[in-house]
Amino acid sequence: MSSSLREKTLALAAVFQAAALTDQLAWRGQAESLPLETLLNGILVFETDDPLAIYGSPAGLQAGLRALELSFATRNQTPRQAEIVRYALGMAHIERQMANSPDLQAQLRRRLEQAQQQLKHFDGITSASMIGNLGHIYVDTLGTLDFRIQVKGDARQLKSDSMPEQIRAVLLGGVRAAWLWHRLGGRRWQLLFTRGQVLAEIRKIIVETK
């Protein structure tokens, strides 16, 4: 489908937001609240490919825009920056595997529709119950695929009781964003030729939403 550079940039920023949040959780044991809420809410928005309808204002994607900007603008990435890029690529790979399995897509859609109804009974998308629910959905659906994303971080944080569910919920949000990016016409090979354009658009959005 035809879409604007801005739409594709916002969708890709959501993928990188999931990657950055995964890194935060793995090393610090917590994630920034607005980026987390924005990403997880997007999982339960259906029937539209409009990034603004899914994620709201670009202000909620600032963390992803900055992570994407760093990945594009930095020649010598730090190990943490390299991990964020690896997580983003991993989520995009999982999305492509999911796209090749109509049965898995249907199962995931059913579970997410159930979660959308259950959200009415909980205190927001970032409540422990909802995050746990999303984490279990990831395990039962995307977790059955052959590919696994290996998350690196502080062993103490990774072993805490609720951390696996939080990270899986975020990864689910990242795969949803990768699905959107692909629906909008985003392709990895295109980034080789449009890197400068995407970087300029990222910086334009960041300035506009300050």
Q: What is the pLDDT of residue 1?
A: 40
Say yes or no to pLDDT of 10 above 60: yes
Task: Note the pLDDT tens digit of each residue in 100-138.
Answer: 999 999 999 999 999 999 999 999 999 999 999 999 999
CB atoms inside a 10 Å sphere around CB 210: 6
**Running DSSP on this structure, what letter comes out for residue 48?**
-
Domain ranges for the chain = 5-208
Nearest alpha carbon to residue 126 among 172, 157, 166: 166
Task: Note the pLDDT tens digit of each residue in 146-158.
Answer: 999 999 999 999 9
Q: What percent of the chain has pLDDT over 90?
A: 90
Say yes or no to pLDDT of 209 above 70: yes
**Angle 27-126-167 (CA atoms, 0-180°, nearest 5)?**
35
Question: Residues 166-181: what's their mean pLDDT?
Answer: 98
Q: Which residue stretches of the chain are H helix?
A: 5-28, 33-43, 51-55, 62-73, 79-99, 102-118, 128-140, 155-158, 163-183, 188-208
**C-alpha span between 161 and 81 (Å, rounded):** 26
Class of domain 5-208: mainly alpha
Per-residue confidence band for 3, with pLDDT thresholds at 50, 70 and 90: low
